[in-house]
């Protein structure tokens, strides 16, 4: 024997939805606490002379991305839009009444197999994907001595 739920009448469902929306908008919505960081998906490829890193960071903008390179370590972080807006001149911004979509915040640290040259690094941001091209550092410790 199968049991199927009885459908709720459309008028009862519409009335319940209307009451719910009224309750949601009657209360003042507060901004959520600091958003938790997500770990972006990452692809790493290597040639003899360079590394290429592709981070998926959907929902963010170029202005919010921060990348630092030191030695073998690459750090990607995003600032929150509220933090970026706080540094700008205040404008007449609309008041948020209701919010379901959370702001994307990303953080990831990658340690590469060898050191890279931060001076020759380049970055491209397209359709939510940040691609870094990092040249490998040429070792300067040992030099070849010619025997004459």
Q: Which backbone phi and psi does 13 adopt, to 5 degrees?
A: -65, -45
Which residue is associated with the tokens 């590394």?
Answer: 51
What per-residue confidence (pLDDT) applies to 4? 47
Q: Is the pLDDT of residue 2 over 90?
A: no
Helix (H, G, I), strand (E, B) or coil at 119: helix
On average, the pLDDT of the chain sits at 79
93: left (phi > 0), else alpha (psi -120 to 50), else beta?
Answer: beta
What per-residue confidence (pLDDT) applies to 99? 80
Q: Is the pLDDT of residue 44 over 70?
A: yes
What per-residue confidence (pLDDT) applies to 111? 95
Q: Is the pLDDT of residue 52 over 90?
A: yes
How much of the chain exceeds pLDDT 90, in percent?
A: 46
Global confidence as pTM:
0.64
- 69-106: pLDDT as tens digits: 999 999 999 987 665 555 555 667 788 888 887 778 99
Instruction: Give the CATH architecture of domain 36-90+98-135.
Output: Sandwich (2.60)
- Pairing relationship of beta strands 129-135 and 50-56 according to DSSP bridges: antiparallel
Residue extents of the structural domains in the chain: 36-90+98-135
């Amino acid at each position: 024997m199968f049991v199927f739920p009885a459908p709720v009448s459309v008028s009862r469902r519409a009335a319940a939805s209307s009451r719910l929306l009224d309750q949601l908008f009657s209360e003042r919505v507060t901004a959520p606490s600091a958003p938790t960081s997500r770990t972006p998906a990452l692809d790493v490829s290597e040639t003899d002379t360079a590394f290429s890193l592709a981070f998926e960071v959907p929902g963010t903008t170029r202005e919010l991305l921060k990348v630092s390179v030191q030695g073998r370590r690459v750090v990607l972080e995003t600032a929150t839009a509220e933090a970026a807006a706080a540094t700008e001149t205040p404008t007449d911004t609309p008041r948020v009444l209701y919010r379901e979509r959370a702001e994307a915040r990303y953080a990831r640290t990658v340690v590469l197999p060898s050191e890279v040259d931060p001076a020759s690094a380049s970055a491209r941001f397209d359709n939510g994907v940040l691609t870094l091209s990092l040249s490998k550092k040429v070792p300067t410790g040992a030099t070849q001595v010619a025997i004459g």
